[in-house]
Structures are given as structure tokens and as C-alpha cells.
């Protein structure tokens, strides 16, 4: 009889499983990503049946086996196991719940969708836990929805309360020894907001309390559970039936069905799968905090990002005050929106006008600096683009871009050298997007072009001038979308001139209070910069 293998190899990037080690993953084509991990063998597998450890069944969630809906005390409507016509599916229960943070609601697509699984990633100390604690504060302090008289009479005395009233003191004392029941008893007091369960595997309850004291008052419906065993967490979620669950973090959770260490590929995949079944089965929204690698990606297998509904990244310099939240995956909204926050001593504060915040501290009267407009989702953001050109003694001059794509910058420099005859091949060129924002929209091409020309020819751009437009390889300046929206944002912040593609002049011509300067190619742009008051 063949001996069962005790270990398998997993790709740390995509989660591909192999019986032997391979240098290159056949699924994601990454090199040296395979790690050896022990396999999980349950007791049922030893008896010859299929292993079922770690699998969440509908019966274990307290769901009705017939239709898959949640049972008594349900947190929300569960997944229906029957095939239904599309027209008969009711989406009234999918109304979004506001987090109380407008910037976060914008990134999520309008709020939290019931039964969703949301992954929040970011560098250590960037403020992931602080952001989710503020969501807890807003939800637990929310005023409860008013019940109708008939509903108030029906829920005046719960069956569980009737049973507890009949219990003897000894039975009550024995029942209180269960951690989930202790949390439930703590939540049965004065409650006004939404019930939230915060599960921490990295901090103690006292540490979380100290941070919460700096952020303000929390409602009584917030429950704290410091646990890393997935089985205990699952039991607490099923027993307490919260509407929101926060797991901090997924790399600290472990399942007894998997013998590898917490944070490994097997553990992350197993625990995420269980949490996914809980979210969809009970209709509870689960936030997962994920660590990131040195490359900036969420640690663990790539399959983790495929399993969740939404992936949010919290970025920014931890030594600076600004933070940027954006979505790289969102099944319920756009991935183009961003949220801007400022870190304060009492937590994160929203920045309702990112343009004004990003332009704070812009130098005046210096060359190589210009303000461009980028459209992030439906929000126009004005950002300062800086460029510096200097003579190089190297055989290959430096090309550095911070916040912009260096390949795109090289393309624009080639356009300037070929179409305008600027000798940039012997110059070091540095491009910086101020504020720590990374821009990928082609509308900032014109801003990079003007910043480089301004630095190379030492032309000072007027501080009241805004630019936007896409630049092609032949030197043409092409139109961009939502030109009127960008111009209105310029007027709002006090800009007096806007350099834009000539093709956008007709759409933005009706806006008053600003001078529009249309350009069709880089030669025309250079003549305007040389002959104007810049």
C-alpha cells in the first residue's frame, strides 16, 4: 500500500498546488515562489472517507437546509440554494449601509453591501486598524431604526430571554463560562447602533481600548474578541449574529484542520474560505485586514484577492499626514474612486477637498512646476507636477519618475526631443508628482511636458494656470474626457488660466471666470509659453 504524502508545495503568489517543487509556477509564471507545507488529514480521511475538516456546511451556520435562508435571530438573508429566474430575485435586502465616512463610502461604491467580504491591505502602521475602528465607532453610535408598534410587541421579549429568566443561578453561572455567551451578555445591555464584532489576533483588548479612548465614544454594541483560532471565531459569529465583523488580521488566524503555521498559504486560503461561507451564508459583512509584502502586494496567495468581493489598499507615507484609500477590485462599484484622509492624533480625518490639500505648500515663482488636473473616478484632483533637468556626465542619463510611470515619461521626453529639438538625451530628468499620489491617467501628459519645458528653458509658469491633455507620439495634444468638470474645479480653486486641448474648447467654452487657451500640438504649446507672460 502506497504511503500518503505528508507535504505538498504551494505557490506563494497564486496558490497553485504541486506534489513536487518547481522553479517556475506553471499558473502565474513567477520564479522561486514554491514553499513546502504539510497537508491536513482529518479523521474522516483516515477512515477512508473524504476529508471534511474546515468545510463550513449550511447546517453548522444555523441555516434552513431546505432553502438556505438564515434561521431565528438571523443577521441577514442567507444564500438561496435553489435556482431562480433572474426576474424573481429580490435585491431589496442589498441596500448599502453607510460607514459614516464619506470618503470610504465613495471608494466602496456608495457604502457596505450586505454579505460582502472586504479585504483591506496596506503597509504596517499606515492606519488600517484605525480606519476600521472609526467605522466601528460610527456604526455603533448610529441611531437604531424605529420599529412599528406591531414589531415592538413581537420583539418585546425574546425566547432566549424567557429561557434565561427561568434558569437557576447555578445554570446561569455555568452558561456564562462560554466566551461567545459572555460577549452576548455584554451586548444585551444598552444598544443603539449596529452590532459589530471586532476580532483581533495581534492586540489585546486593553490595547484596543487605549486606542479607542483617543478616538472618542463608542456604542455599547461593539464587541471585542481576541482570538486566533478560526473555530472559536466561527462559533462567536454564529452565536452572536453581528451585522459587521472585522478580522485583524487574516495572517494571524489558523484552522485546526490545517497543520501548517498561521500566515502560510494553506492557512490563509482555508480561513478565507471559511469566512467567505460565513459572509454569504449569514448575510454578515466581514472586513479582513491583510499584511502586504515588500513589493506592496497583499501577503499570501493571489487566490485570496480572487475570493473576496472588494480589495482596498491604504497607501501613503507613514511619516507624512496624508493617506489615500483606493480599490483595486470592487464587485459592487467602480475601482477608479479614491478617498483622501489626514492622520491626526485622534484618528483619521477626511479631506473633502483633496485638490486644496495636495497644492498646499506649492512653491511660487520657480521653474519646473505646474498644476495639472487628473480625474479619479468622478472626482477631479488638481496636483502639482515637478520636473528637474540637469546636465549629465553619465553615458546613460538618469530618468527618474516618482508618482508617474517612468516608461510614459521616457515616451514624452522622446516626443520633445524629436518634435521640438530639445537635447534631452544629454540631460538627467527627474519628474515628481507632489503629494505622494500615483497618477496613471493620460490627461497628465501635458502637465509633464510643460514641467520639463519649464525646467529646461527656465520658464516660470504662472501660479494661476492649470493644464490637462493627452500627448501623442506625433506631438499632437488630444482631447480628454470631462473637460468642463476639470475647468469648473479650476475656477473653484481660483485659477485664472487653463491650457487644454483645442478639441475640448467647445465643450468647456461656456464656463465663465477663466481664460481658456487651446493648443493642438507641442510646437504651438512652446510658442505660447515663449511668447506669453510666463
Close Cβ partners of 295 (under 8 Å, ≥ 6 residues apart):
none
Q: What pLDDT does 264 receive?
A: 81
CA distance 127 to 129: 6
Q: What percent of the chain has pLDDT over 70?
A: 78
Confidence of residue 66 (pLDDT cuts 50, 70, 90): very low
Instruction: State the chain's mean pLDDT as an integer.
Output: 81
pLDDT tens for 382-422 read 999 999 999 998 889 999 999 899 999 999 999 999 999 99
What the block records as the C-alpha cell of 264 is: 502560510
Return the domain boundaries, the chain: 7-39, 58-82+93-141+179-352, 356-531
Q: Is the pLDDT at 54 greater than 60, yes or no? A: no
CA distances from 394 to 334, 398, 462 (A): 44, 8, 33
User: Omega before 255 cis (within 30°)?
Assistant: no
Secondary-structure class of domain 58-82+93-141+179-352 per CATH: alpha beta
Q: DSSP 3-state helix, strand, coil percentages of the chain (rounded to 5)?
A: 35, 25, 45
**Which pLDDT tens digit goes with each residue over 416-456?**
999 999 999 889 999 999 877 888 899 999 999 999 999 99
pLDDT-derived band at 52, boundaries 50, 70, 90: very low
User: In angstroms, rounded to a whole number, what is the distance separating the alpha carbons of residues 250 and 454?
Assistant: 49
Residues 337-353: what's their mean pLDDT?
Answer: 87
Whether residue 49 has pLDDT greater than 50: no
Rounded Cα gap, residues 156 and 153, in angstroms: 5
Distances (CA, A) of 36 to 232, 261, 271: 27, 12, 19
Task: Give the model's pLDDT for residue 387.
Answer: 96
Please list the residues that pair with 247 across neighbouring strands: 199, 288
Average pLDDT over residues 509-523: 89
Name the CATH topology of 356-531.
Ribosomal Protein S5; domain 2 (3.30.230)
CB 45 within 8 A of CB 51: yes
Q: Phi then psi for 103, rounded to 5 degrees?
A: -65, -40
pLDDT in tens, 136-177: 999 999 875 554 444 444 444 444 444 444 455 554 444 444
Cell triple for residue 433? 508628482
For the chain, what percent of residues have pLDDT higher than 90?
46
Confidence of residue 190 (pLDDT cuts 50, 70, 90): very low
Give the angle 117-120-124 at the CA atoms, nearest 5°. 150
Higher per-residue pLDDT: 198 or 299: 198
Kindly report, residue by residue over 288-318, the tens digit of the pLDDT.
Answer: 998 876 666 666 667 788 889 999 998 876 6
pLDDT at 45 over 70: no
* Average pLDDT estimate for 322-334: 89
Which pLDDT belongs to residue 58? Answer: 42
Pairing outcome for strands 338-344 and 477-478: unpaired
Amino acid at each position: 500500500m502506497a504511503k500518503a504524502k505528508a507535504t505538498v508545495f504551494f505557490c506563494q503568489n497564486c496558490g497553485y498546488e504541486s506534489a513536487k517543487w518547481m522553479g517556475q509556477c506553471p499558473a502565474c509564471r513567477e520564479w522561486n515562489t514554491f514553499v513546502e507545507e504539510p497537508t491536513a488529514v482529518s479523521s474522516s480521511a483516515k477512515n477512508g472517507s473524504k476529508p471534511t475538516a474546515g468545510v463550513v456546511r449550511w447546517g453548522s451556520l444555523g441555516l434552513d437546509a431546505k432553502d438556505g435562508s438564515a434561521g431565528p435571530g438571523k443577521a441577514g438573508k442567507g444564500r438561496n440554494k435553489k435556482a431562480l429566474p433572474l426576474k424573481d430575485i429580490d435585491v431589496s435586502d442589498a441596500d448599502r449601509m453607510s460607514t459614516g465616512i464619506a470618503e470610504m463610502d465613495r471608494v466602496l461604491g456608495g457604502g457596505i453591501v450586505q454579505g460582502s467580504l472586504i479585504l483591506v491591505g496596506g503597509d504596517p502602521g499606515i492606519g488600517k486598524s484605525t480606519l476600521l475602528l472609526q467605522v466601528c465607532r460610527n456604526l455603533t453610535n448610529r441611531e437604531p431604526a424605529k420599529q412599528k408598534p406591531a414589531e415592538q410587541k413581537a420583539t418585546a421579549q425574546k425566547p432566549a430571554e424567557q429561557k434565561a429568566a427561568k434558569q437557576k443561578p447555578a445554570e446561569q453561572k455555568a452558561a456564562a463560562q462560554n466566551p461567545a455567551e459572555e460577549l452576548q451578555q455584554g451586548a444585551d445591555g444598552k444598544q443603539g447602533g449596529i452590532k459589530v464584532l471586532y476580532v483581533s489576533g495581534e492586540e489585546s483588548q486593553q490595547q484596543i481600548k487605549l486606542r479607542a479612548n483617543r478616538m472618542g465614544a463608542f456604542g455599547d454594541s461593539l464587541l471585542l474578541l481576541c482570538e486566533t483560532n478560526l473555530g472559536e471565531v466561527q462559533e462567536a459569529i454564529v452565536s452572536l449574529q453581528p451585522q459587521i465583523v472585522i478580522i485583524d488580521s487574516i495572517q494571524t488566524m489558523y484552522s485546526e484542520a490545517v497543520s501548517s503555521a498561521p500566515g502560510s498559504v494553506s492557512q490563509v486560503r482555508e480561513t478565507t474560505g471559511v469566512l467567505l461561507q460565513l459572509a454569504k451564508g449569514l448575510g454578515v459583512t466581514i472586513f479582513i485586514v491583510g499584511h502586504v509584502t515588500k513589493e506592496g502586494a497583499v501577503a499570501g496567495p493571489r487566490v485570496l484577492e480572487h475570493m473576496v468581493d472588494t480589495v482596498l489598499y491604504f497607501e501613503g507615507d507613514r511619516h507624512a499626514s496624508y493617506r489615500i484609500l483606493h480599490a483595486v477590485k470592487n464587485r459592487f462599484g467602480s475601482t477608479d474612486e479614491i478617498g483622501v484622509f489626514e492622520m491626526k492624533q485622534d484618528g483619521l480625518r477626511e479631506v473633502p477637498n483633496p485638490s486644496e490639500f495636495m497644492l498646499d505648500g506649492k512653491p511660487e515663482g520657480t521653474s519646473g512646476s505646474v498644476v495639472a488636473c487628473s480625474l479619479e473616478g468622478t472626482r477631479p484632483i488638481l496636483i502639482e507636477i515637478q520636473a528637474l533637468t540637469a546636465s549629465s556626465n553619465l553615458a546613460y542619463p538618469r530618468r527618474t519618475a516618482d508618482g508617474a510611470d517612468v516608461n510614459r515619461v521616457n515616451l514624452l521626453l522622446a516626443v520633445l526631443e524629436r518634435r521640438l529639438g530639445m537635447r534631452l538625451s544629454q540631460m538627467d530628468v527627474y519628474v515628481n508628482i507632489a503629494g505622494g499620489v500615483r497618477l496613471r491617467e493620460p490627461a497628465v501628459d501635458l502637465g509633464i511636458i510643460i514641467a520639463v519645458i519649464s525646467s529646461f528653458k527656465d520658464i516660470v509658469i504662472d501660479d494661476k494656470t492649470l493644464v490637462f491633455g493627452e500627448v501623442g507620439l506625433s506631438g499632437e495634444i488630444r482631447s480628454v474626457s470631462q473637460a468642463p468638470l476639470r475647468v469648473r474645479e479650476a475656477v473653484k480653486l481660483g485659477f485664472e488660466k487653463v491650457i487644454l486641448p483645442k478639441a475640448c474648447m467647445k465643450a468647456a467654452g461656456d464656463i465663465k471666470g477663466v481664460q481658456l487657451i487651446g493648443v493642438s500640438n507641442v510646437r504651438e504649446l512652446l510658442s505660447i509659453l515663449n511668447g506669453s507672460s510666463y
